[in-house]
Structure 1
Amino acid sequence: MGLADNKCVPCRGGVPPLPAERAQELLVQLDRGWSLNTAGHLERLYTFKDFAQALDFVNKVGAVAEAEGHHPDLYLAWGKCKVEIWTHKINGLTESDFYLAAKADREFAAFRAGVAVGAPK
């Protein structure tokens, strides 16, 4: 079972962010391109051939995020989408952030292959 197969767990606050060592262990399980930015958030830039493809990807990731109840920041521009993920209630990372990142990667892989994955039920 991969990270993308896990269900995001809503954070109610009051829990500590993941230790840096655990975050690094999970980071290497994601597809290439993910990094921790200066704020300590997960971040990846996906590129596309045009605006329409980038918008389609944003909508797919948005549907997954809504189904999971875990919402990333999505930055849309011509031919690209930056995804930034962290747990806002604790201003840090939880394992669910890595699950959502892996779900975004799964959508991207399906998008590249021309297969509709859709939001999990």
Structure 2
Amino acid sequence: MTKLAEMKCEACQLDAPKVTESELAQLLPLIPDWDVNVRDSIMQLERVYKFKNFKLAMVFTNKLAELAEEEFHHPGILTEWGKVTVTWWSHSVKGLHHNDFIMASKTDQLMD
């Protein structure tokens, strides 16, 4: 399998398939620091990144914003002193799509 971070997001239409339970089981080990949360019946990927201060958290947030624009797939981002909480899900399918796992992996690479 190609590394997730090397893949590109595809345009996600309303009828795009959500990841299946078996796909979820295969994809989650590829992004081990991410949690699956369900909010308002919508499955989402979430991770908290920690930083030494607010300025470094903002640098990361801005890098993530640039990445999201490049891929045209946008996360929930909560930037606080010393941490950034990132949440990926596909609004159009109201759940998780393969794109969310690609973006979670790409987000992890921003820390390298």
State the TM-score, normalized to the length of structure 1. Answer: 0.85
Match of 2:34 in 1: 34
Q: Match of 1:16?
A: 17
- Given that residues 57 and 80 in structure 2 are in contact (C-alpha distance below 8 angstroms), is that contact kept between their aligned partners in structure 1? yes
Rounded Cα–Cα distance in structure 2 between residues aligned with 1:9 and 1:55: 28
- Number of residue pairs the alignment of both structures matches: 108
Q: In structure 2, which of residues 86, 94, 101 is the aligned counterpart of residue 83 of structure 1?
A: 86
After superposition, the CA RMSD in angstroms is: 1.0
Deviations 1:5-43 (A, max 9, x none): 00011202112311122112111111x320101231000
More strand by share: 2
**Where does the alignment leave 5 or more consecutive residues of structure 1 unmatched?**
110-121
Q: Percent identity?
A: 37
Q: Distance in 1 between matches of 2:44 and 2:50?
A: 20
Q: Which is further off, 97-106 or 9-18?
A: 9-18
Q: Runs in 1 of length 4+ with deviation above 6 angstroms? A: none
**SS of the residue aligned with 1:41?**
strand
Unaligned runs of 5+ in 2: none
Matched letter for residue 23 of structure 1: L
TM-score by length of 2: 0.91
Q: Secondary structure at the match of 1:38?
A: strand
Q: Which residue of 1 aligns with 2:107?
A: 104
Letter in 1 for 2:5: A
The answer for the alignment partner of 1:25 in structure 2 is: 26
